[in-house]
Chains A and B, each alone.
Chain A
Amino acid sequence: MRRPGRVRFWLALGAVVVLGILPLALVVKKAAGAGDIFWETVTSADALDALFATLRLALGTTLVALLLGAPSAWLTTRTDVPWKGFFRTTLTLPYIVPPYIAALAWITLADPAIGFLNAPFDSGVFDIFSMHGLTWVMGLSFYPYVFLTVRAALESADPSLEDAARMSGAGPWRVVKDVAFPLARPALISSGGLVFMATASAFGAPVLIGNRAGIDFLSTRIFDLWSDDLGGIARASSLSCLLFAFALIPMLLRGRHHAVLTGQASQPTLVRLGRARRPVQVGLLLLVLLAVFLPLGAIALTACLRVAGDLSPSNFTLSKFADVLGASENGRALWTSLWLAAAAATIAVALGFLIAWLQVKTRRRGRHLLAGLAALPLATPGTVLALGLFLLWVGPVRLVYTVWILLVAYVAKHMALAARALAEGIGAVDDALPDAARMSGAKGWFLFRTVWAPLVLPSIVAGWFLVFMPSFSELTMSVILMGPDLETIGTRMYVMREYKSPTSASVLATVVLGLVIGSNLILRKLSGGRYGV
């Protein structure tokens, strides 16, 4: 029996498998085929050290993120702390700043030799090149996951639940303990799991800080092994399997992936902070300062200096912008990143639409499996996915060391972001609207163009930007997959930080931040505040 959508289903499944599943399967196959090398690699002292360091970093970061994110979420939804709107926006900002840029920023702030924060002291008081330093940077980068998830949970919870506890005689703190905290517990668990996973998978910040600190993590170790020699690929694959399993542990906690949705504001009875109102406000301001203004300011400031670390007036200049952006390799890298991200976003939206439509509007068996498979690469550490893509595209169709493998990588990694946004938009369309068009004789592309596209346009735009932003600033896969003459804005920054000048890296970081924040504003405007921060 002919079923509508059969061809499309197999098309989408084929695309998802080739883009994201086959590469992962190849990593597993490579590791399994390595035999003794697998056990030798996984049980080597290096690997165990890296595993232990990754565990420490992930747990520490999760703790920092929970301690920063959960209280600030409660304070900005349930109390009468002043400047709530300001805090809600600014505290979410780190969400859109790539962690490696935060790491660059904190290096300019707390480098023991030339960091701004160490300027008043003779010897370096703050040392970012340490486990504590890295945990601090990652915690400040990832606490918005907790903040957003807990805030959404509190906002969607019926305020009368808490009011009822008040009326039963419970004081404000009792209400938090007995009602608000249990209500937020699923959000704490899922967002904590997410932070754990994101930290264990992270590559950029750990490599920038860990290298100088002499600490290896699983992700950076995979990168080192891989660039070693021929036998390195088998070793890297072996370690990838370990990292993959490790990073997916939190999924068992039913960690739902984040969605930057602004929940509708309900109006609960606010807890009066009384005399604590000012101190709490100052505390939140301090967090905003540390998480947003200090690092972003440091990046912008460094971009305006002739020599890093020297704040004397004669050292200020804007000429660096012209120099750095005028350099042909930087201009080329910027252009490459822009068109790659735009192309990846366009392809991901097209594929994401198909996946979302199949999942939401058909009753095909396997539609949920399709959506699940499409989401797997997003949950996979970038190092592992990049390794798999390398193994797949080294032949017979050879894409390695070309720009096309980056396009494939960006689409594979981020297609789930587009699919998720589109599933929401498509789900909101009454079935009768496209059905009426079919009964009028429309089908295929015409049906899509005249009815679907206009109706889900906001989700199409949101999905596009949700893929564009992380693709534009992508570092992990780009560094691993870049070849000679193949550079993106992210790899330029990486190379500059490693070998050349922190001020040049800061100039590029400022440009990336400007573009990402600009895209975010457009996204927020176009989606009416539904997406974006």
Chain B
Amino acid sequence: MTAIHCRGLAKSFDGTVVLRDFDLVVESGAFVSLLGASGCGKTTALRLVAGLETPDAGRIEVGERVVVDAATGAFIAPEARRIGMVFQSYAVWPHMTVLENVAYPLRVRGVAKAQRESETRRILAVVGLDGLEERKPAQLSGGQQQRVALARGLIMEPDVLLLDEPLSNLDAKLRVRMRRDIRRIQQETGFTVLYVTHDQEEALAISDRLVILEGGEILAQGTPDELRDHPFLASEEASA
């Protein structure tokens, strides 16, 4: 079954083309990474799927639903797409506790308080944050804030989770641990992941499939094994 299907997406900002002819099929339960240097269009692609940007051309289906189609003008707002998202800057709300942050998507949906709390505690245990429920974000480390953002993305059990460079603000050691945790939780729960990163080692280690972007266009895609010897990756390795 297909979880995300993008066809012919194009987007430009103030006359500058940042994405063109973007076609992507993500199978349900897969872990797919968009890999590329900054400015290659990978974050724009992710934000189009989220609904935080609208494409100039093309259409996107999430599950059975057409969420946006530039040709017909169809558009489902981001808040109605039932997609989880983890941001590069974590976007943990500073005025709410850990519990309130993670419970927010349930609160939006009017879930009763008692059920909200038990759900939240369960998901906090999954990401390893139990015991920190009443902390404010300012009292958390970067890694802990990242787990709050992850828990918040997961709590409504979305079919699709979008991750925008979630590990780039963490130190190297923590990065490796977090990416194992993300992979483990994904395999246990079985949701679909679209993952944006500029770190090819990370992308090779974590993904079922990679999509390499350059200058707003798809350069190549395939499994880590198929792409390990791709010249794009080789040249990056050589320059690194």
Contact = CB atoms under 8 A, between A and B. Distances in A.
Interface of A: 1-4, 363, 430, 432-433, 435-443, 446-447, 450-451, 454-455
A344 B85 CA distance: 39
Interface in B179-236: none
A1 B70 contact: yes
B123 to A, nearest CB: 13
A1 to B, nearest CB: 5
Given A1-B70, A439-B79, A454-B93, 14 more contacts: A2-B54, A4-B77, A432-B88, A435-B91, A436-B87, A438-B77, A439-B78, A439-B153, A440-B108, A441-B79, A442-B108, A450-B107, A455-B94, A455-B95
- Among A4, A435, A447, A455, find the residue whose CB has the most chain B CB atoms closer than 10 A: A435
A1 B85 contact: no
Q: How large is the interface on B (under 10, 10 to 19, 20 to 34, 35 or more residues)?
A: 20 to 34
A450 B104 contact: yes
Contact of B93 (A1, A4, A363, A451): A451
B109 A441 contact: yes
Contacts of B153: 439
A317 to B, nearest CB: 52
A192 to B, nearest CB: 36
A164 B217 CA distance: 50
Contacts of B80: 441, 443
A441 B91 contact: no
Contacts of B78: 435, 438-439
A454 B94 CA distance: 9
B41 interface: no
Contact of B52 (A1, A438, A442, A455): A438
Contacts of B51: 438
B83 interface: yes
Contacts of A438: 51-52, 77-79
B53 to A, nearest CB: 10
Nearest to A454: B95
Contacts, number: 77
Given A1-B70, A436-B152, A450-B104, A443 B79 contact: yes
B89 A430 contact: yes
Contacts of A3: 54
B50 interface: yes
A439 B77 contact: no
Contacts of B91: 430, 432-433, 435-436
Contacts of B77: 4, 438, 443
A94 to B, nearest CB: 37
Contacts of B95: 454-455
Contacts of A432: 87-91
Contacts of B152: 436, 440
B15 interface: no
Given A454-B95, A455-B95, A439 B89 contact: no
Contacts of B149: 436
A58 to B, nearest CB: 41
A342 B122 CA distance: 46
B108 A441 contact: yes
11 contacts: A2-B54, A4-B54, A430-B89, A432-B90, A438-B51, A439-B83, A440-B79, A440-B108, A441-B105, A443-B77, A454-B95
B10 interface: no
Nearest to A457: B95
B50 A439 contact: yes
Interface in B45-91: 50-52, 54, 70, 73, 75, 77-80, 82-85, 87-91
B73 A1 contact: yes
B124 interface: no
Contacts of B162: 439
B156 interface: yes
A478 B225 CA distance: 77
B109 to A, nearest CB: 6
Contacts of A443: 77, 79-80
Nearest to A455: B95
Nearest to A443: B79
- Among A430, A438, A451, A454, find the residue whose CB has the most chain B CB atoms closer than 10 A: A438
Given A433-B93, A435-B91, A438-B52, A2 B75 contact: yes
B41 to A, nearest CB: 17
